[in-house]
Every structure is written in C-alpha cells, then in structure tokens.
Amino acid sequence: MPDSAELETLCQQLAQALQQRGWMMATAESCTGGLIAGACTGLSGSSVWFERGFVTYSNLAKQQMLGVPESLLVAHGAVSEPVAAAMAQGAVQQSAAQVALSVTGVAGPTGGSVEKPVGTVWFGWQLAGQTLTEHHLLAGDRAQVRAQTVQIALAGLLQRLQAIA
C-alpha cells in the first residue's frame, strides 16, 4: 500500500501532466467513496486541474449523475467493465473536464461472490477520445483494497497521459 508521501508525489506528477496540456480531470467513484478526489484536492492549487468528483455509490446515482444506462447495470452488474467504461465517459460528459477516471468494485468484507470476489475492481479512464479499462483482483481488508484502488486509478491516469504525445 502506498504511504501518504507516495500518494502526494503521484498527485503532484498527475497535476503537472494535466497542467502541461491545460486539461482538467474528473473522478467517478463507487468503491472508494471519494478517496481519489480527496487525494487530488489534498494538494494546494488543485482547482487548476481538478474539475469535480462524482461519488456514485448506488446504481441510481450512477444512472442519474453519470448517465450509466440501467440496461448495463442489469446485464453486467455495477462491478463490471462496461459500467466502469460508462462511468468514465459520463464523468467527462457531465463535467468541464477533458479526462476522467472511474472505479467500481467490491471492497469487502461483504458483498463478494464467486464471479466477483472481494477485491474485484474495474477501472476506467477516458482521455483523448478513448475509453480504456482494466481489471484488478486486490488483496487485503476493506481499507487496503480501497487504498490500492486509489493508487492504481491515479497511476493509471498518469501513465496514460504520459503516453499521449
């Protein structure tokens, strides 16, 4: 798990990458409940590059705030690749941000299933007209799964920003 200094450094690097492009970011969070937005806005001056955060814990919130189609939620469940993608897309569409990240998962200790055990997290990133997704099965207790999710989501966005020429 990252410590607070590592997380702050990651947020600073992300801030720099976004500011170099004149872009802002948005977050669409379910299992992290706003921890990613909190990490970003923990930096002074983050209003230059952090546009907004959506905490969409319920399926209804995902539909109302991000425009996630109910049909996707019914067909695939909230913790799924299509929903992570739709959340990231919706965060860009419902904000003034150019890039977004999304997370939806099972942090535990309850809520897991054979198909989606505790620690299952889907990530989405929307940038440069592309939607990218990734799946991780994380180990640990609820706090550890959530902390790892924050780290992976932010590092994933930074990596994808750096890959854009």
Q: How far apart are CA 118 and CA 78, in angstroms?
A: 14
Would you say the pTM of this structure is higher than 0.95? yes
Q: Which residue(s) pair with 125 in the sheet?
A: 101, 132
Give the sign of the dihedral formed by CA 93, CA 94, CA 99, CA 104: negative
**Full pLDDT tens readout for the chain, 165 residues:** 557 899 999 999 999 999 999 999 999 999 999 999 999 999 999 999 999 999 999 999 999 999 999 999 999 999 999 999 999 999 999 999 999 999 999 999 999 999 999 999 999 999 999 999 999 999 999 999 999 999 999 999 999 999 986
- Residue 36 near residue 50, CB atoms below 8 Å: no
Radius of gyration of the chain (CA): 15
